[in-house]
Structure 1
């Protein structure tokens, strides 16, 4: 079902090569001065303790966000972008697959992802991300809709809110169609793909544009002994799909991107043509009596950054699909595991079931 051409190597945070020698700072350096240099576009290298980096980022965050109103979604996103650019100029030395700072955490990803480099610099926030990811990878994540834990590989999106998972499980319990094959587009950590197997699908194909997600799903499939039933491949939507299937599941990003996105942001922010491409391509990969399940949220509407709904727009403008069912679930408050705290009162998640005309 999949074009078996060679997959690319997993992504990793790219080492930084400043054009000139970065300013070296220590815990005794004024946090105000460090934040100012970062905001002015200078690279700064931490020279003593890992905790110094935490102190400098804390001060930078205060200067950037100040009293910013998190309910002003667009303005707050701009602040996040400014902080992202400045914070990634704060550098950490890496030597022989370890952080070369006092009292730094041990991060297994440094050995797994950088076997070819001995001495380099990484942005402090990227190192924090590697550390956090390594903790999740070691202990795993137990989802309420799955029997087995998942162990997301570095750079793999995994949900920290479960409303859409409950909604999908509710729909899947009542699904009475063929369970020969299913296709999970944009699989992320694979939670929906594994759920499809739990509910009796014989073979599930999972694709994602992010190769790290594919590595993650493949590893977890081997861990629980279902690698013969769950096949994961790197693909931009249906780019490498060659056959038709009984069910297509798509849980896309729920927010429009304001600029070019990369990394994990591609799992959160969508490009303008994403949905047009999906609906145009999906019809060539679904059996005549098959179904498409599209999971979405009204978050873009309630935050007033986008009023057009991708499924409503598709159904009103084209004659390719018919709505079979629409079910909704009120979203719970954000998990303590996510840093997002924007105003989402009144949010609900949706499951659209579609079929070909």
Structure 2
């Protein structure tokens, strides 16, 4: 246990210690009290807001209900100084939204569960979460630990996503099974673009899929008849997830999945990349699929594309303009990066989002979401 952070709390027989687990890298709480079915939501919420964690020793389902009650208090927490002013700009709305999300996550993350060394939860009415934990953490080593209840619920939810899969219309309704920590392709409109935009003349021979994640884009390309797809990623979970999905769909022989940052060696007539769409700092590992600090992956793809395209080939950049509507990036900056990379735009296909938040007027970022367009930019090496 010396290689792991630990959680310590007072007990009748003296201080006790458990290994601390946090996929998001949250430090172990410094103050911990034992809580059970007698703990009220008001008391739990007050302690959590003060930075005190509650190690749960009661009924598992009661812990879930307590967390839900705390979440309602977090949503209706009165603000100092009365009602807040409306954000002056979209970027201010975005930052306030992120701050509120972070504060909510910190508070609700203070309800902790003890996990046994075999990943069982020794609480009344607790589910069997062994397989969900093993999928995320690997084989158990016999060492008990403490974990945020929210994280355990996330593990269980991710296990269900992985078991049931996500139906992909662009694959004729076939399912992609995302792993824990690998972004699920629930927004299918960008895949419709990959499925319908005409392929370059030589693309049936070979294509690169940069940052493959679940392998879904590589699968769509293979389904369109591309004989050899090289799919890259640098995340171990994503690589394993992509390989399993592609094998399950029958494309394992067509798609080669390799570990590399951005581009594989060589060139291809088609290079596809769906980078994270929002240039901001992620708050947890799974958010790296959404947030791209300083547009690192986007700019890296553009800067290296010229050296990995065959003559006459195309690079397909799949990107939402959501960040532009938030004021986090300008269209002018994107076009400038394309030009600086020695590229030119050969065409662009657009599509509107279909996800529920796009039509939710209560969403703090509703204005930007209603204006959002997802595009497939067809890029070519600029002729001198």
Shorter-chain TM-score tier:
0.7 to 0.9
Deviation at 1:60, TM superposition (A): 3.1
Aligned to 1:44: 54
1:117 aligns to 2:141 (yes or no): yes
**Alignment partners' CA distance in 2, 1:195 and 1:309:** 31
Aligned to 1:312: 335
Aligned to 2:188: 162
Aligned to 1:101: 123
1:346 aligns to 2:371 (yes or no): yes
Name segments (4+ residues, structure 1) moved above 4 Å: 14-21, 67-71
**Alignment partners' CA distance in 1, 2:234 and 2:329:** 24
Secondary structure of 1:121's match? strand
Aligned Cα root-mean-square deviation (Å): 2.8
Deviation at 1:253, TM superposition (A): 1.2
Q: 1:325 to 1:137 in 2, by over 3 A?
A: same
| Superposition TM-score, scaled by structure 2 size | 0.80
The structure with the larger Rg is 2
| Superposition TM-score, scaled by structure 1 size | 0.86
2:299 aligned residue (268, 276, 294): 276
Q: How many residues align?
A: 340
Check whether the contact 1:97–1:114 (CA below 8 A) recurs between aligned residues. no
1:26 aligned residue (14, 36, 39): 36
**Alignment partners' CA distance in 2, 1:305 and 1:16:** 26
Q: Following superposition of structure 1 onto structure 2, how do residues 53-202 of structure 1 map, counting pairs within 5 Å?
A: 53-66=63-76, 72-95=93-116, 96-107=118-129, 108-112=131-135, 113-118=137-142, 119-147=144-172, 148-172=174-198, 175-202=200-227
Deviation at 1:289, TM superposition (A): 1.9
Check whether the contact 1:15–1:120 (CA below 8 A) recurs between aligned residues. no
Q: 1:123 to 1:50 in 2, by over 3 A?
A: same
Q: 1:100 to 1:246 in 2, by over 3 A?
A: farther
Q: Which has the higher contact order (CA 8 A, sep 6+)?
A: 1
Q: 1:101 to 1:223 in 2, by over 3 A?
A: same
Gaps of 5+ in 2: 1-20, 78-83
Deviation at 1:12, TM superposition (A): 8.3
Q: 1:59 to 1:175 in 2, by over 3 A?
A: same
Aligned to 1:321: 343
Deviation at 1:175, TM superposition (A): 4.2
Q: 1:33 to 1:255 in 2, by over 3 A?
A: same
Deviation at 1:20, TM superposition (A): 5.8
Secondary structure of 1:255's match? coil
Deviation at 1:266, TM superposition (A): 0.4
Query: Deviations for 1:104-132, whole angstroms, at most 9, x for unmatched residues?
Result: 22231223434243311111111111111
Gaps of 5+ in 1: 1-10
**Alignment partners' CA distance in 1, 2:35 and 2:239:** 39
**Alignment partners' CA distance in 1, 2:216 and 2:138:** 28
Aligned to 1:4: none
Aligned to 1:7: none
1:288 aligns to 2:315 (yes or no): no
Question: Larger % of helix: which?
Answer: 2
